[in-house]
Amino acid sequence: MAIRRRVTRRRLTLSQMFHLSGGDYGGAYADAFASDEERREAWEVHREYMMRGCRYGGRPAAWWDYEAPIPRPADPNYGPAALWEAGLLEPREREACERSWRAHFEQAFEPHFAICLGPGEWLRGEEARKHHWADYGIPARLIKRWLAERRRRERAIAKLQPGELRA
């Protein structure tokens, strides 16, 4: 009869913590747990602690593996957006994500906004904005809504004539 280690009686090793939070990192932490059963038990025991550390829509790898009601996006930048779209963010978390995304959305409209891809490689204009929004994982639905708001605002401003402005 094999002796079974009880996760509940000990703290997680650093390798185990990394494995639960981010996965096996390409095999670097593949041997952190003896089995998936042991990993799942560790997650159940330490779940509350690990979830307290989540910010801005982030979730540990173990949450995605054992609890997520939606598939984990291939691009980790879209994890919070996927949770937002599925209505799985807490209200405060949702508000924080939307504030952050809005700031990054607006940043892309600053004068001379550009993205450096490497030495001598720059993106500007619409291409730079789309790249920037993708880097921050802004949900497409929000981008569409905010672009429509910008267009309405710009049309309203364009209708005003300098002589019509009054204090």
Residue type, 4: R
Residue 134, pLDDT score: 94
Structure tokens of 31?
Answer: 């041997």
Indicate whether 15 and 32 sit together in one domain: yes
Indicate whether 113 and 92 sit together in one domain: yes
Structural domains of the chain, count: 2
Look at the block and give the residue holding tokens 């309203």: 156
57 neighbors 21 (Cβ within 8 angstroms): no
Residue 2, pLDDT score: 47
Signed CA dihedral, 30, 36, 57, 146: sign only: positive
Indicate whether 80 and 120 sit together in one domain: yes
Max mean pLDDT range (9-18, 29-38, 143-152): 143-152
Indicate whether 60 and 43 sit together in one domain: yes
High-pLDDT (> 70) share of the chain, %: 90
In sequence order, what are the residues at sequence separation of 6 or more whose Cβ sits closer than 8 angstroms to the Cβ of residue 8? 41, 45
Residue 91, pLDDT score: 93
Q: 25 pLDDT exceeds 90?
A: no
High-pLDDT (> 90) share of the chain, %: 73
The model's pLDDT over 124-156, given as tens digits with 9 standing for 90+, comes to 999 999 999 999 999 999 999 999 999 998 888
The model's pLDDT over 77-98, given as tens digits with 9 standing for 90+, comes to 899 999 999 999 999 999 999 9
HSE on the CB side for 45, CA within 13 Å?
15
Indicate whether 93 and 154 sit together in one domain: yes
Run of H or E residues at 141? helix 140-159
Indicate whether 59 and 7 sit together in one domain: yes
The residue from 68, 85, 112 where one domain ends is 68
Indicate whether 32 and 45 sit together in one domain: yes
Indicate whether 75 and 64 sit together in one domain: no
Residue 116's DSSP bridge partners are 122
For the whole model, what pTM was predicted?
0.78
Indicate whether 107 and 143 sit together in one domain: yes
Q: Beta strand pairing status for 114-118 and 121-124?
A: antiparallel
130 neighbors 105 (Cβ within 8 angstroms): no
Residues spanned by the domain of 49? 1-68
